[in-house]
């Protein structure tokens, strides 16, 4: 088998491929057209961030079985096109965690002691000793927005500097917070108390612009902010204004909304430290990701083992046709549960009843977890979802019972969060069509669509009329309407398919209606699963 290394990376990657008996060619710097001309003869391709794996390249990749990304981000790879062709896309999400965490700590210390500006002043021969009055980090409070793999490493290093650490992360459980020695808080509490804030969350619809003008106004005056995660988490114009006013004493930024960032107003401010996306740029990190991607790709090509795949679980070719409709159902149920759960997860119980219990349920459970965690984590997938859940101290319970109940097959998810337990269950109609049949113990039958509206309310006369009027006044068109209740005058639910997404302003008006307890807009884009699954 042949592997192409299409980007410059540690020589150790090529050595590992050859040690495992694979033929290796190293051709960095190829344009997509050049790559398309030669890719057809390779079984695997290893890249970093420079090589663009476009749909046209993949169309020419007649023998390609796996693309390995030495690093986390796969923006340079057309993953849907790879999936459609049955090509596995792998990354190495944990190879540069320590490096990125260390860079965040280095940026925080440079900011605290004004090191870059003091260095420039000293090199200019000014010797302005009295000008640069820094602050200690010892006994200060560090607030982490995001406390997953990298965030927990930052917490550990900060504790070594004698800092108190707060963490805001919807997926961080109380037990996990205690284990790593951080105080779990909500975002407003973190903003009000932190002397330093460091961001370690992916960029999702929920986290985009998480530090906007309103959030920055709620921070402790004189806070210092570090971002080595993703551009787009901070509204840069708002940060500029806060730095000018003194609300924010300083900012250390490794990432920007637009990169390369060559002309930012932030660069003109003396209280800003900036680096060109160096979070993963150490010899050790590049060595680690090169080794990991080579080992993962070799294991897949030679043994069929799948590690850190973004578009495939370990499913045999024999099981794939049987599991395909259940994978779709599992993804929908997990996504539903994840979107209606607002507080930190503690426990997830996944029950398989009837015919589905006789199948290989491990990939189904992984897809449930992927859907559950995806609303706040863009990088989660069916392979790493169980690992991500364990990192956050979420207890996972799986059970199977081949005895059928009311349905030939049923998957039920019970999510326990702080102060609340929620359930959602579904089945397949005609063995192919996923349907939700139960929400929080209330029977309802609904087929999910790209845009849904979910409400919980008291079952009292007049509610449906008020709801319909509110949606009509907001020009929200109803496609289907599903209702359920546990008893007359008790708890009720509404699950409504709408043509487009429901704006937050409309949701706010719905929450203000009498009897409404919760109103959430749900999205279920692209539900295709497992094209071209290969034997494990």
* CATH number, domain with residue 456: 3.30.70.260
pLDDT at 304: 72
Residue 127 located in a structural domain: yes
Same-domain check for residues 233 and 356:
no
Residues 258 and 287 both lie in one domain: no
Are residues 405 and 483 both part of a single domain?
Answer: no
pLDDT attached to residue 57: 95
What pLDDT is stored for residue 313 in this prediction?
A: 65
CA within 13 Å, CB half, 311: 26
Looking at the structure, tell me whether residues 319 and 390 fall in a common domain. Answer: yes
The residues of the chain scoring below 50 in pLDDT are: 317, 527-536
The reply to whether 532 falls in a domain is no
Q: How many domains does the chain have?
A: 4
Beta strands per DSSP E along 171-320: 183-184, 196-199, 223-227, 248-253, 272-274
Cα torsion 331, 333, 335, 336 to 10°: value is: 160
Residue 531 lies in a domain: no
Residues 491-509: pLDDT tens digits?
999 999 999 889 999 999 9
Same-domain check for residues 514 and 453 = yes
Location of structure tokens 């370690």: 200
Q: Quick one: 21 and 103 in the same domain?
A: no
User: What is the domain range of residue 474?
Assistant: 449-524
Q: Using CA of residue 448, residue 453, residue 458, residue 464, what is the dihedral sign?
A: negative
Q: Same structural domain for residues 111 and 222?
A: yes
| CA dihedral (330, 333, 335, 341) positive or negative | negative
Examine the domain organization and report whether 134 and 235 are in the same domain.
yes
Sort 512 into a burial class: Cβ within 10 Å, 0-12 / 13-18 / 19+.
Answer: exposed
Whether the model pTM is above 0.75: no
Q: Which two tokens stand for residue 376?
A: 């706040």
In-domain check, residue 533? no
Q: How far apart, in whole angstroms, are the C-alpha atoms of residue 101 and residue 50?
A: 23
Active-site positions read: 230, 259, 277
**Long-range pairs of 177-183 with CB within 8 A, sequence gap ≥ 24:** 177/147, 177/393, 179/393, 180/147, 180/152, 180/155, 180/156, 181/155, 181/156, 182/144, 182/147, 182/155
CATH of residue 359: 3.30.1330.90
| 530 within some domain | no
Of 408, 440, 472, which residue is a domain's last? 440
151 and 246 fall within a common domain: yes
Task: Tell whether 250 and 377 lie within a shared domain.
Answer: no
Residues 333 and 411 in one domain: yes
Let me know if residue 47 belongs to a domain: yes
- Could you tell me the CATH number of the domain that includes residue 128? 3.40.50.720
100 burial class (0-12, 13-18, 19+ CB within 10 angstroms)?
Answer: buried
Q: Is residue 112 part of a domain?
A: yes
Summarize pLDDT for 204-217 with one digit per residue, the tens: 888 999 999 999 99
In a domain, 520, yes or no: yes
pLDDT (0 to 100) of residue 318: 57
Q: Judge if 261 and 401 occupy the same domain.
A: no
């Amino acid at each position: 088998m042949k592997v192409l290394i299409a980007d410059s990376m540690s020589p150790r990657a090529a050595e590992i491929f050859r040690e495992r008996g694979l033929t290796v060619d190293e051709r960095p710097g190829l344009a997509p057209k050049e790559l398309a001309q030669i890719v057809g003869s390779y079984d695997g391709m290893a890249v970093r961030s420079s090589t663009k794996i476009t749909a046209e390249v993949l169309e020419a990749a007649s023998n390609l079985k796996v693309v390995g990304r030495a690093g986390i981000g796969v923006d340079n790879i057309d993953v849907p096109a790879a999936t459609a062709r049955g090509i596995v896309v792998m990354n190495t999400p944990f190879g540069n965690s320590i490096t990125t965490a260390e860079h965040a700590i280095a940026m925080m210390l440079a900011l605290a002691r004004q090191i870059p500006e003091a260095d420039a002043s000293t090199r200019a021969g000014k010797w302005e000793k009295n000008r640069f009055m820094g602050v200690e980090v010892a006994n200060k409070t560090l607030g982490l927005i995001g406390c997953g793999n990298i965030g927990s490493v930052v917490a550990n290093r900060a504790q070594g500097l004698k800092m108190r650490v707060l963490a805001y992360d919807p997926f961080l459980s109380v037990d996990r917070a205690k284990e790593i020695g951080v105080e779990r808080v909500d975002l407003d509490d973190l903003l009000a108390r932190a002397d330093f804030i460091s961001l370690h969350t992916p960029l999702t619809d929920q986290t985009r612009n998480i530090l906007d003008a309103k959030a920055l106004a709620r921070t402790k005056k004189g806070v210092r902010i570090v971002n080595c995660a993703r551009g787009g988490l901070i509204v840069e114009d708002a940060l500029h204004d806060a730095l000018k006013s003194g609300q924010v004493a300083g900012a250390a930024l490794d990432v920007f909304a637009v990169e390369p960032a060559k002309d930012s107003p932030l660069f003109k401010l003396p209280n800003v430290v900036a680096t060109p996306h160096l979070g993963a740029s150490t010899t050790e990190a590049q060595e680690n990701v090169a080794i990991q991607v080579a080992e993962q790709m070799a294991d897949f090509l030679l043994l069929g083992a799948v590690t850190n795949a973004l578009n495939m679980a370990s499913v045999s070719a024999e099981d794939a046709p049987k599991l395909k409709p259940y994978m779709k159902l599992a993804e929908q149920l997990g996504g539903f549960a994840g979107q209606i759960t607002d507080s930190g997860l503690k426990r997830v119980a996944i029950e398989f009843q009837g015919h589905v219990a006789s199948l290989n349920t491990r990939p189904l459970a992984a897809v449930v977890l992927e859907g559950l965690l995806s609303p706040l984590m863009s990088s989660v997938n069916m392979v790493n979802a169980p690992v991500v859940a364990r990192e956050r101290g979420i207890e996972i319970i799986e059970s199977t019972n081949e005895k059928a109940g009311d349905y030939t097959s049923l998957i039920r998810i019970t999510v326990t969060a702080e102060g609340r337990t929620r359930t959602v269950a579904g089945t397949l109609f005609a063995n192919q069509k996923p349907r939700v049949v139960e929400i929080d113990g209330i029977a309802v039958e609904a087929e999910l669509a790209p845009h849904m509206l979910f409400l919980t309310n008291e079952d009292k006369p007049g509610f449906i009329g008020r709801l319909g009027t509110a949606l009509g006044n907001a020009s929200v068109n109803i496609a289907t309407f599903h209702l359920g209740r546990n008893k007359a005058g008790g708890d009720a639910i509404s699950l409504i398919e709408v043509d487009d997404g429901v704006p937050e302003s409309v949701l706010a008006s719905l929450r203000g209606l009498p009897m409404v307890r919760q109103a959430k807009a749900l999205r279920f884009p692209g539900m295709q699963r497992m094209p071209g699954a290969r034997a494990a």
